[in-house]
Amino acid sequence: MATIDLSQLITAEDKAAVAREAKHAAINVERQRRIEAGKLIAGTYVTGRDEDARNLTNLALAAQMRIAGGDTSTLTTYRDGNNVDHALTPPQMLALWQQSSAYVSDLYAASWAIKAMDPMPDDVTADELWPSH
């Protein structure tokens, strides 16, 4: 007589959970791709690779320090994702960082909204699901 090991049984719920986890992973990949691809902000192409984000954050911190010290005119060169140099004042540098940060926050919010959809869309990379870049 055959013995069935019920602990090895895969249920419909198990299959749905695996599919949901795979879809969530695909959403995370797409979110990261969009962060790294970046966005054109006020004529400046800002990318979101780790080193680019760190550089922009450090430049924004320096801009904040200048502004706090009353300096709103010293120019800082920011080389964008297209290798174009931009001479930015401290307020411009800070605004660039703020808008870039807001875009990343919007991408995270979109990814959470997509994950909350029931059912989730077949194509989680569809532009209409994400903030414009």
Q: pLDDT digits over 101-119, tens only?
A: 999 999 999 999 999 999 9
Per-residue burial over 37-70, b = 16 or more CB atoms within 10 Å of its CB, e = otherwise: ebbebeebebbbeeebbeebeebbeebeebeeee
In a domain, 66, yes or no: yes
In a domain, 57, yes or no: yes
In a domain, 86, yes or no: yes
In a domain, 3, yes or no: no
In a domain, 98, yes or no: no
Does the structure show a pLDDT above 80 at 9?
no
78's tokens: 């920011």
In a domain, 54, yes or no: yes
Domain total for the chain? 1
What are the CA-CA distances from residue 117 to residues 33, 47, 49, 113 (Å)? 21, 28, 28, 6
Of the given ranges (16-20, 37-41, 78-82, 107-111), which has the lowest mean pLDDT? 16-20
* Domain span at 86: 34-91
Of the given ranges (10-24, 31-45, 63-77), which has the lowest mean pLDDT? 10-24
Instruction: Check: pTM over 0.85? Answer yes or no.
Output: yes
pLDDT given for residue 1 in this prediction: 66
Per-residue pLDDT tens digits for 14-28: 888 888 999 999 999
In a domain, 65, yes or no: yes
Residue 38: what residue type? Answer: G
In a domain, 108, yes or no: no
Question: What gap in Å lies between CA 105 and CA 100, rounded to an integer?
Answer: 9
Residue with tokens 């209409």: 128
Does the structure show a pLDDT above 80 at 7?
no
